[in-house]
């Protein structure tokens, strides 16, 4: 039988990318995330006929299903408003689709495909039975009243409910979707279906099936991962100066755990600018920031309370002298110029708390000069605790805070181990990007091969 010419060629990165871009044009973030993985995976699987003949990597780069829908809602002035909603179900080889919802004006299919693709590897690394998905809307919650957010969430769920379920697809939060939004979405799901299906969403409030430390998990996990990487070179976060970006869910709790581990956090930011506090943001100052953020205030308010700190409008924090950088805001927030600034200030560690916060150019500059933790390993703590929230919901019980934190730490240590196993080549230091991609890929591809074509 003549062999069919493959749509992609998974033995050569450039040919593979040409095929991918032909099938999914105008999706730069998606191309970027696939390229990062392809550069590691393709050389690794080139001679593995079982994987290449079953076109496993090609299949992994094509979402299994994409839903796109219209959302109509009414603002406080009675104007009818229109937004677009999405759910990208990427891969369910390991378990029900699982991944967050993002509400931000920049949301489009390219960003959600990049996030869903990344999620496939991240969820695999946790060792839990989780498939991968991502979704959201171009709705901007900033400046909207509580009632407007509620009306939007209700309309969003009116369409989403038919695509999700505890054994099918379990969304959670992401940028712009926190406990308030998850509560509204859960309430609407319950109204529509008449069922109290606690396992349909994670990141829920504690009174209706949420898990302890879910809110803290992503940030805590990133700090634990950093500590583990430093322990591997006989060092630790104690007394280290750390630049953190963002002041949302991930950034706040990453900063908190760094402080608890003895590190000194000197920056935090939002999309308007960053604050620099040379004396360090201690637990008390951080509690003030958490208070400001829960009142939906901007980070610049910090300098009104702490006069020695400075605020830098329209800038990112990567020029601040720091041993470690924790980008915890958004994608592509460290570019080549930022990377040069970090290196000039002798930064030795970069830990991606956000998803794909480093551009490819910046990453290539940093990779040999710093210890670099890719997002799919460093920020997997959030989805790991979400996975454990699903287990608690199935068992109809809840585990204690200490138990949850211990489980989180164990999972981060296990992810670190997998990265070392697959990322240590010869006498060179561990390449965490290689390790995380290969470990995640092998777990998913094993399941895909077992399921047949």
Which positions are catalytic?
A: 134
Interaction pattern, residues 30-49, with ligand NDP; x per rule: CB under 6 A: --------------------
Measured CA to CA in angstroms, residue 314 lies from 143, 265, 271, 273, 341 at distances of: 19, 20, 8, 5, 17
> Is residue 173 near ligand NDP by the rule CB under 6 A?
yes
Contact by Cβ (8 Å): 245, 328:
yes
φ and ψ of 102, to 5 deg: -115, 125
Reported residue count of the chain is: 453
Helix axes 401-423, 381-395, angle to 10 degrees: 130
Would you say 242 or 251 has its CB closer to ligand NDP?
Answer: 251
Closest residue to ligand NDP in the complex (CB)? 248
Instruction: For residue 186, give the nearest of 445, 322, 177 by alpha carbon.
Output: 177
* Cβ 9 to ligand NDP shortest distance, Å: 31
Locus of tokens 């493959």: 6
310: DSSP letter: E
Q: Which of residues 290-349 bind ligand NDP (CB under 6 A)?
A: 328-330, 333
The b-or-e profile of 112-124 (16+ CB within 10 A means b, else e) is bbbbbbbbbbbbb
Q: Which of 155, 379, 437, 445 binds ligand NDP (CB under 6 A)?
A: 379
Interaction pattern, residues 339-358, with ligand NDP; x per rule: CB under 6 A: --------------xxx---
Would you say 8 or 274 has its CB closer to ligand NDP?
Answer: 274
Would you say 146 or 368 has its CB closer to ligand NDP?
Answer: 146
Q: In the Cβ-directed half-sphere of 299, how many Cα atoms lie within 13 Å?
A: 30
Stretch that binds ligand NDP, among 71-79, 171-179, 224-232, 413-421 (CB under 6 A): 171-179
* Cβ 118 to ligand NDP shortest distance, Å: 9
* Cβ 186 to ligand NDP shortest distance, Å: 17
List the strands of the sheet with 241-244, edge to edge.
Answer: 310-313, 273-276, 264-270, 241-244, 324-326, 349-351, 371-373
Q: Which of residues 242-261 bind ligand NDP (CB under 6 A)?
A: 246-251
Q: CA–CA separation, 419 vs 421, rounded Å?
A: 6
Instruction: Please give, one letter per residue, the 3-state secondary structure of 111-124.
Output: HHHHHHHHHHHHHH
> Is residue 12 near ligand NDP by the rule CB under 6 A?
no
Contact by Cβ (8 Å): 152, 73:
yes
Stretch that binds ligand NDP, among 5-13, 143-151, 241-249, 414-422 (CB under 6 A): 241-249
Stretch that binds ligand NDP, among 4-12, 39-47, 173-181, 191-199 (CB under 6 A): 173-181
> Is residue 270 near ligand NDP by the rule CB under 6 A?
yes
Q: Which of 12, 108, 271, 391 binds ligand NDP (CB under 6 A)?
A: 271
Q: Which of 382, 387, 423, 440 binds ligand NDP (CB under 6 A)?
A: 382
φ and ψ of 154, to 5 deg: -65, -45
Would you say 54 or 303 has its CB closer to ligand NDP?
Answer: 303
* Cβ 201 to ligand NDP shortest distance, Å: 13
DSSP-assigned beta bridge partners for residue 102: 136
Which positions touch ligand NDP (CB under 6 A)? Answer: 173-176, 218, 246-251, 270-272, 328-330, 333, 353-355, 379, 382
């Amino acid at each position: 039988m003549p062999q069919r010419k493959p749509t992609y060629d998974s033995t050569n990165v450039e040919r593979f990318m040409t095929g991918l871009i032909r099938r999914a044009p105008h999706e730069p973030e998606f191309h970027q995330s696939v390229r990062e993985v392809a550069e590691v995976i393709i050389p690794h699987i080139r001679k593995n006929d079982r994987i290449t003949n079953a076109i496993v990597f090609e299949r992994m780069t094509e979402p299994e299903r994409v839903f796109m829908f219209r959302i109509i809602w009414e603002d406080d002035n009675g104007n009818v408003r229109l937004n677009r909603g999405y759910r990208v179900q990427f891969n369910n080889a390991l378990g029900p689709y699982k991944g967050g919802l993002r509400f931000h004006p920049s949301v489009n299919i390219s960003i959600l495909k990049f996030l869903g693709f990344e999620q496939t590897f991240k969820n695999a690394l946790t060792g839990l039975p989780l498939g991968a998905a991502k979704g959201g809307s171009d709705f901007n919650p900033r400046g909207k009243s509580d009632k407007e957010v509620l009306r939007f969430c209700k309309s969003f769920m009116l369409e989403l409910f038919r695509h999700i379920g505890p054994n099918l697809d379990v969304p959670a939060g992401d940028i712009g979707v926190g406990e308030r939004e998850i509560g509204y979405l859960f309430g609407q799901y319950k109204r529509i279906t008449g069922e109290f299906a606690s396992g349909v969403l994670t990141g829920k409030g504690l009174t209706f099936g949420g898990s302890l430390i879910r809110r803290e998990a992503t940030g805590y996990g990133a700090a634990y991962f950093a500590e583990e990487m430093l322990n591997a070179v006989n060092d630790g976060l104690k007394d280290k100066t750390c630049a953190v970006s963002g002041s949302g869910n991930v950034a706040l709790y990453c900063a908190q755990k760094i402080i608890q581990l003895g590190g000194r956090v000197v920056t935090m930011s939002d999309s308007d600018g960053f604050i620099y506090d040379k004396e360090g943001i201690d637990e008390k100052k951080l509690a003030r920031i958490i208070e400001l953020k829960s009142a939906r205030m901007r980070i610049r308010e910090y300098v009104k309370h702490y006069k020695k700190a400075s605020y830098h409008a329209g800038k990112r924090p990567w020029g601040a002298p720091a041993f470690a950088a924790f980008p915890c805001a958004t994608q592509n927030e460290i570019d080549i110029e930022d990377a040069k600034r970090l290196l000039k200030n002798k930064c030795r560690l970069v830990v991606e708390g956000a998803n794909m916060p480093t551009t490819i150019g910046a990453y290539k500059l940093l990779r040999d000069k710093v210890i670099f933790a890719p997002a799919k390993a460093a920020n997997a703590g959030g989805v790991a605790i979400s996975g454990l929230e699903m287990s608690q919901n199935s068992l109809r019980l809840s585990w204690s805070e200490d138990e949850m934190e211990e489980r989180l730490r164990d999972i981060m240590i296990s992810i670190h181990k997998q990265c070392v196993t697959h990322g240590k080549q010869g006498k060179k230091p561990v390449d965490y990007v290689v390790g995380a991609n290969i470990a995640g890929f092998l777990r998913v591809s094993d399941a895909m091969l077992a399921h047949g074509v």
